[in-house]
Amino acid sequence: MALPKSARIASAVLLLAAAAGALYVLDAPESSGATQSTDNAYVQVDFTTVAPEVAGTIAAVHVRDNQVVERGALLATIDERDFVVALDAARAQVASAQAGIASLEAQLAQQQNAIRQAQAVLAADEATLVLASVNRARYRNLASDGSGSVQALQQAEAQFGVQSATRDKSRAALQAARQVVAILGADLEKAGAALRQARSAQAAAELKLSYTRIRAPVGGTVGQKAVRTGAYVNPGKPLMAIVPLEAAYINANFRETQLARVAPGQPVEIEVDALPGVILKGRVDSLGPASGASYSAIAPYNATGNFTKIVQRLPVRIAIVPGQAAASRLRAGMSVTPTIRTGS
């Protein structure tokens, strides 16, 4: 039975409207959607690799695989006997330098006394010289008028010469004593420098000894443990990794056509492949500054005439809202599907 004309017209209008709506939806840009989702996303954690600072033999390992440790926890110890010997030698050098300084200080104090003694001798010699000068003048006057003998004058002049020479000798001795003080002062500065060097060597020995106790730089879970008791390790050789799972985040690679309305702070729903039925809450933390291809050592851009446009992906960092019980079950490398609600 044929439909009435009005029904046929109404059906045609509905079909045209549906076609127009479908065309509008298909022609709309991808970024205009109220949500943006991708399955190219993974759980990531910025873990820390633990390596020794000194070479030596592992004396003991204090953690096991997948153990949760606090920051500063003792992970392993290196045989410390060589480092203890080196520290004892450094301490002996410090003690020797301190003894040398004490000896020089005592010599310096003794030399100050010697200077004061030389000054007293010089003062006495100068007084005696003054007396000899007066006697010489008196006998010279007596000899000139005949009241005194020439022999007495000669004795007075000889005595004056002797006292003058003695005064000059005492003056030279005082100057020599003062020069010894300058020499001792220079030796004392040299000994002070040697003491500072010895203390630096002791500090270095103490630091190396502390490196024999390998501690966790951050809190987290032990992974990639490759250290065993009795093994010889070298500085910089990775022993294990500390993975702070509580600081996990999502690194999602969205197509560039999806990011026009994505902004930090927008809410995110996270589906985890390993946790069926669990939806975690997150928020957009930041957008990467460049696509993954931009960091490639070989430029992917084709400058020849044969060109095929490929939609690029840019990383979006998604923070996980704290306080969710299921978040503690996340592990680095898990696949997730985040859905960003852009609100457009």
Contacts of 45 (CB under 8 A, 6+ apart): 243, 244, 245, 247, 248, 249, 332
CATH 2.40.50.100 in the chain, residue ranges: 48-79+212-242
With cut-offs at 50, 70 and 90, classify the pLDDT of residue 199: very high
pLDDT for the residue 229: 94
CATH classification of 81-209, choosing from 1.10.287.620, 1.10.3720.10, 1.20.120.520, 3.40.605.10?
1.10.287.620
Asked if residue 156 has pLDDT above 50, the reply is yes
Q: What value does the mean pLDDT take over residues 286-304?
A: 78
Can you identify the CATH homologous superfamily of domain 31-46+245-341? Answer: Efflux pump adaptor protein, beta barrel domain (2.40.30.170)
CATH 2.40.30.170 in the chain, residue ranges: 31-46+245-341
CATH 1.10.287.620 in the chain, residue ranges: 81-209
pLDDT for the residue 153: 62
CA separation, residue 203 to residues 93, 209, 236, 309 (Å): 12, 10, 22, 61
pLDDT for the residue 135: 67
With cut-offs at 50, 70 and 90, classify the pLDDT of residue 330: very high
Q: In angstroms, rounded to a whole number, what is the distance separating the alpha carbons of residues 282 and 267? A: 6
**Using the 8-state DSSP alphabet, how is residue 321 labeled?**
P
The percentage of residues in the chain with a pLDDT greater than 70, rounded to a whole number, is 83
Q: What value does the mean pLDDT take over residues 121-137?
A: 74
Asked if residue 71 has pLDDT above 90, the reply is yes
CATH code, 48-79+212-242: 2.40.50.100
Q: What value does the mean pLDDT take over residues 126-140?
A: 71
**pTM, to two decimals:** 0.69
